[in-house]
Amino acid sequence: MEEFEMTPRTLTLDKVIAAAFAVADRDGFDGITLTKTAKQLAVQPQSLYRYVKNTQDLQGKVLAQNLKTMVDQVYEQLIGLTGPAAVQRYMEMLAFGDYTLIAPHDYGSVAQYMTDPEVAKQYQRLYGILPTLLETWLPDEAVRRRANQLLADYSLGESVAYRNNNQAPDEVRRDDYRRNVAALIDLLTAEVPNGLTTD
């Protein structure tokens, strides 16, 4: 991969993060280090300390940018959609999104970076979308609460299974998932018209 050929004077935080993304593309997220990023930029590692504290800080900044991009993509996909159709699209993106780094539902991996305010902000943005979508569709608070728990748990479970134990062909898993989400949405919709079910 071609190096960026920077000099310490032309470095910026954005360029450092871009170089770290290039390292991640080649070596994976865990492969991001100050040394590799500096090599990608053709500078000495100490030149990076003006922008990041250490490797974990650099990884956190990369993760925050990745989460922001992901959330922005989700919002773009939801333009013009409301109610069950929006929930269906969100669920599909959350489970089968094209994550370039750590999948956000891998909380064990993400948790160590949650002290970074930007990581925490983008993580909350991502998982704050579903309750907002449900508010436009399910007027009863108790139904919304259960719907959020049910849909979020199912989506996260499927996403982890998809990445760690891919037993069926990709298209089969995706089709099964879409059908199951549609069935869950139908189940929730049945509670809406007459006499909403509450606790």
In the numeric block, the tokens 């100490």 are attached to 46
pLDDT at 196 over 50: no
Domain boundaries, the chain: 1-52, 67-189
Q: What confidence tens digit (pLDDT) does each residue in 125-138 have?
A: 988 999 999 998 89
73 or 195, greater pLDDT:
73
Contacts of 50 (CB under 8 A, 6+ apart): 11
Average pLDDT over residues 3-26: 83
Q: What confidence tens digit (pLDDT) does each residue in 45-91 have?
A: 999 999 999 999 999 999 999 889 889 999 999 999 999 999 999 99
Token pair listed for 154: 């199912």
- CATH architecture of the domain covering 67-189: Orthogonal Bundle (1.10)
Residue 149 to residue 6: CA distance in whole angstroms:
48
Cβ atoms of 147 and 139 closer than 8 Å: no
pTM for the model stands at: 0.78
Q: What confidence tens digit (pLDDT) does each residue in 88-126 have?
A: 999 988 887 766 566 666 777 788 899 999 999 998 998
The answer to whether the 1-52 and 67-189 domains have the same CATH topology is no
Contacts of 150 (CB under 8 A, 6+ apart): 184, 188
> Average model confidence (pLDDT) for the chain?
85
Residue 171 to residue 195: CA distance in whole angstroms:
38
pLDDT at 199 over 60: no
What's the topology of domain 1-52?
Answer: Arc Repressor Mutant, subunit A (1.10.10)
